[in-house]
Amino acid sequence: MTGWQEEKPNALLILQNGTRIEGRGLGATGHAVGEVCFNTAMTGYQEVLTDLSYAGQIITFTFPHIGNVGTNDEDIETLENASASGAKGCVLKADITNPSNYRSTSHLDAWLKARGIIGIAGVDTRALTAFIRENGLTNGVIAHAPDGVFDEAAISAELAKFKGLENADLAADVSTAKTYEWSQGRWVWNEGFSAIDSPKNHIVAIDYGAKANILRCLASENVAVTVVSASTPAKDILALNPDGIFLSNGPGDPAATGEYAVGIIKELIASDKPIFGICLGHQLLALALGGKTVKMHQGHHGANHPVKDLTTDKVEITSMNHGFAVDADSLPTGITQTHISLFDQSNCGLTVDGKPIFSVQYHPEASPGPHDSHYLFKRFLDNVRGVTADA
């Protein structure tokens, strides 16, 4: 925007330490309080912004040119039956350019406005990212007012009252309110989403904030998927007679969600059904098995995280989005660590010895991100079908 320096800023980002950042507003107006994190992915901003694992967060994009391919209706990860949306806000370096992609149906600015997401552009995102790396995840408030007039005392007071994501059960806020069936498979170029007509098996997916592409990856393994809420009792899940059980990703503190989820998962473990967990589902499984979770300094948010699969010695480049992690030292006897982050050696996977139960911290469905880890869905269905997994 030529000459913006002479114009009155109409957006603010205020951090909990009092740091005040001015910029150009975009998307929705108003203000929102959340945890400020950064994401290093170079593509897939629409999928990132609609990932329910980002509920309660304001995303700083390290890639400077966000919005250049526009938006469309196919790259949305929030499920239609979800009780809430994803990120509260986004922080950008450059202004949003006109979209340049044949799939685009809407400008990112209009799309953000329609989804109620507040944005701020013109921010030194490298400096903000460096601040988070040095000081850890921080709370903040993002505000956009077309006239540039803000009641800073009021929004700062609201920020001061925000307790952050520790001890916050956000899965209950975003999970589906009803049970429903899912049969849509992965997207195919120039064809759209595939349909699963004759499934061989039945999987129940517990929705803690599930991404659509996870369900598509499950369905593409030729299975019927039934999605249930995060608080569905184990007896009701088992009454659906599933061949396997999936524990989804989601936002918030796993220990808080575990107050009701752990008991359910323990009963499911006792049923000897094959179980597969991703992200929050991985953390909740660890808690149910007797492990502990910890808050991370800056979290893992991006599509370029190297992870080593200790069962195959292969290294995968993965997509991640989490601010809590499983404490590997807390895992009891009989639980084996299967994956580690090559950035910080934090736990990224586990399996229950002698049982068809495993989970990973990262996102094998990608969207956005590389497809290195798609094999995990096959590994899960191999467990369901009683065959040896071929990684």
Instruction: Let me know whether 302 and 157 are in one domain.
Output: no
**pLDDT exceeding 90 applies to what percent of the chain?**
92
Per-residue pLDDT of 149-173, as tens digits, reads 999 999 999 999 999 999 999 999 9
Residue 228's φ and ψ, nearest 5 degrees, are -125, 160
The Cα 267–Cα 260 span in angstroms is 12
Instruction: Let me know whether 177 and 41 are in one domain.
Output: no
* Residue 247 located in a structural domain: yes
Instruction: Let me know whether 212 and 115 are in one domain.
Output: no
The Cα 308–Cα 339 span in angstroms is 5
Q: pLDDT value at position 6?
A: 52
Q: What is the CATH number of the domain that holds 24?
A: 3.50.30.20
Is 144 noted as a catalytic residue in this protein? no
Question: For the sheet containing 180-182, what is the strand order?
Answer: 180-182, 223-229, 201-207, 244-247, 275-278, 357-360, 347-352, 335-341, 292-309, 314-327
* Three-class SS state of 101: coil
Range of the domain at 32: 4-161
Per-residue pLDDT of 178-205, as tens digits, reads 999 999 998 888 888 888 888 999 999 9
DSSP 326-340: EEGGGPPTTEEEEEE
Instruction: Let me know whether 223 and 351 are in one domain.
Output: yes
Instruction: Kindly report the average pLDDT of the chain as a whole number.
Output: 95
The two three-digit tokens of residue 239, written as one number: 């009454």
Boundary-marking domain end, from 119, 138, 161: 161
* Residue 391 located in a structural domain: no
Instruction: Let me know whether 155 and 53 are in one domain.
Output: yes
Q: How many domains in the chain?
A: 2
* Residue 390 located in a structural domain: no
Instruction: Let me know whether 56 and 193 are in one domain.
Output: no
Q: pLDDT value at position 7?
A: 72
Per-residue pLDDT of 43-96, as tens digits, reads 999 999 999 999 999 999 999 999 999 999 999 999 987 767 789 999 999 999
Q: pLDDT value at position 187?
A: 87
Question: Which candidate in 90, 217, 279, 348 is catalytic?
Answer: 279
Instruction: Let me know whether 348 and 218 are in one domain.
Output: yes
Q: What is the dihedral sign for C-alpha 226, 229, 234, 236?
A: negative
Q: pLDDT value at position 2?
A: 39
The whole model's pTM is what?
Answer: 0.96
Q: Kindly tell me if the per-residue pLDDT of 388 is higher than 70.
A: no
Q: Kindly tell me if the per-residue pLDDT of 1 is higher than 50.
A: no
The Cα 335–Cα 287 span in angstroms is 12
DSSP strands (E only) in the chain: 11-15, 20-27, 30-39, 57-61, 89-91, 118-121, 138-144, 180-182, 184-188, 192-195, 201-207, 223-229, 244-247, 275-278, 292-309, 314-327, 335-341, 347-352, 357-360
Which pLDDT band, with edges at 50, 70 and 90, does 3 fall under?
very low
Q: Can you tell me the mean pLDDT for 132-159? A: 97
Per-residue pLDDT of 299-325, as tens digits, reads 999 999 999 999 999 999 999 999 999
Instruction: Let me know whether 176 and 134 are in one domain.
Output: no
Boundary-marking domain end, from 123, 140, 161: 161
Boundary-marking domain end, from 131, 161, 191: 161
**pLDDT exceeding 70 applies to what percent of the chain?**
97
Is 365 noted as a catalytic residue in this protein? yes
